[in-house]
Amino acid sequence: MALIKPFRALRPLEKIVQQVAAPPYDVMSVAEARSMAEGNPFSFLHISRPEIDLSPDVDPHDEAVYRKGQENLAAFIHKGTLLQDHEDGYYIYQQKMGPVIQTGLVACASVDDYQSGLIKKHELTRADKEEDRVLHIDYLDANDEPVFYVYRNSSVINDLIACLTKTEPLYDFTTADSVEHTVWAVSDVEVIRQISAEFAHIETLYVADGHHRSAAASRVRELRKERNVNHIGSEEYNFFLTVIFPDNEMNVMAYNRAVKDLNGLSIVEFVTLAGEKFDITPVETAVKPAKRHDFGMYLKGKWYSLTPKPGIVDETDAVGRLDVSILQDQLLSPILGVRNPRTDQRIHFVGGSRGTEELVKLVDSGEFQVSFSLYPTSIDELMSLADAGKIMPPKSTWFEPKLLSGLFLHQLS
């Protein structure tokens, strides 16, 4: 059963929350982060991407970067940009993006649950990214960005949270991308007890977005445990920051692909080989697949619709029948030579609302030769695979809207 706990959030003053809040650290380049934080001393990017305050020549994984993050967080606290609540509590975080409304519980999840498999994964992590997050969290002595978790919808929890969203919010603001962010505090001891008790009936939590942060939190706990001769298991470092959403509110978007070259093939040769596995039809407009197993392809200024030929897809294979797997196994790997999409530098992934426009832009720029649009992986597919202990191909899911960073921090000491 899911163990969650309230915590005393370190969070921004209401009057500057919009200046503090920032996109998550891993959705932008260093150059983009520098530009975004320029002229804004309150931007949380000074903590989540502290390399922006150092010379561009400094390696992003140099110890100086982690020390700078530590220094910047201490300055934010000293100057009163971030203040800590006096009592443990939960928080409700709601996001509205057009017709999409998702409302999650901000809480601390258990490292023990993660290590035991009660919190289920669907992706592998990269050692370098995981190590980066371990050092980042350990130097900050805090979880500065929440992990995005999902649980199977509960009407009782829904009702509890719906009542809480009728109270006065802590924060309510809209970001430049037209997403409205609203936060409520849950401080009533009895309501906190009810929420904890109801989540104790939830059998499983699923990592939607944040595999590296989850793995890093687990490793940081082991580091802290080794350093603490009086470890008892209830210390704050045994828990990590999450926002937990019901599965029925999830907005999963397509995670498209672009490839830099045709693996030495001419356009005719490439299309001929692809035509052995897919029915290929020229179309006049951009292809945004409307159902599973439909794909779009943009090649030399033209769009094509791709559909696997009969017998290509094995519907009994839970991983192989995913659209990301079909494209990888039937085209990207055997024809374009992208054997390992986790490490191959020839492939680029385009997630979320950038959509087909970005695919066209990449190919028309000449930097990429071909791009593909996919139908989104469903949340049911994600949870079913996680329940079966299976791993999805990399970049299978893109959740949007993204959780903002800087609204809550969980201190480990």
User: Do 108 and 143 sit in the same domain of this protein?
Assistant: yes
Domain annotation covers residue 353? yes
Please tell me whether residues 201 and 324 are part of one structural domain.
no
In this predicted structure, the answer to whether residue 84 has a pLDDT above a threshold of 90 is yes
Report the DSSP beta bridge partners of residue 181. 95, 173
Task: Answer yes or no: do 87 and 67 share one domain.
Answer: yes
Distance, CA of 77 to chain centre = 27
CB 230 within 8 A of CB 127: no
391 part of a folded domain? no
- The pLDDT of residue 280 is 98
Angle at 131 between CA 125 and CA 135, to 5 degrees: 140
The whole-angstrom separation of Cα 226 and Cα 221 is 9
Together in a domain, 109 and 201: yes
pLDDT of residue 184: 98
Alpha helices in 79-182 (DSSP H): 111-116, 127-140, 155-164
Position 393 in a domain:
no
Domain assignment present for 107: yes
What 3-state class would DSSP assign to 317? coil
240 and 269 fall within a common domain: no
Could you tell me the two tokens for 133?
């997050």
> Per-residue pLDDT averaged across 64-68, rounded?
98
Is residue 62 domain-shared with residue 117, that is, in the same domain? yes
Give me the helices (H) in 228-322, please: 267-274
Give the Cα-Cα-Cα angle 89, 93, 97 (nearest 5 degrees).
180
Spatial separation of the C-alpha atoms in residues 380 and 246, rounded to whole Å: 12
Digit-coded pLDDT (tens) for 167-180: 999 999 999 999 99
**Is the confidence at residue 1, as pLDDT, over 80?**
no
Q: How far apart are CA 200 and CA 103, in angstroms?
A: 19
Helical segments of 275-367, H only: 323-327, 355-364
104 with 237, same domain: the answer is: yes
CA end-to-end span of the chain: 26
pLDDT value for 290:
95
Domain count, the chain: 2
In a domain, 381, yes or no: no
Residue 386 lies in a domain: no
**Are 405 and 312 members of one domain?**
no
Is 333 within a domain?
yes
In a domain, 392, yes or no: no
Domain that holds residue 337: 255-375
Do residue 150 and residue 295 come from a single domain?
no
Give pLDDT, residue 281.
98
* 282 and 321 share one domain: yes
3-state secondary structure 185-232: EECCHHHHHHHHHHHCCCCCEEEEECHHHHHHHHHHHHHHHHHCCCCC
Taking residues 31-51, report their average pLDDT: 96
What is the C-alpha R_g of the chain? Answer: 22
pLDDT (tens digit, 9 = 90+) per residue, 249-280? 999 999 999 999 999 999 999 999 999 999 99
Using pLDDT thresholds of 50, 70 and 90, give the confidence band for residue 163. very high
* 110 and 231 in a common domain: yes
pTM across the whole model: 0.92
* CATH (domain of 286): 3.30.1760
Share the mean pLDDT of the chain: 96
Same domain (yes/no): 261, 132:
no
pLDDT in tens, 4-29: 999 999 999 999 999 999 999 988 88
Q: What does the pLDDT look like over 313-329, one tens digit per residue?
A: 999 999 999 999 999 99
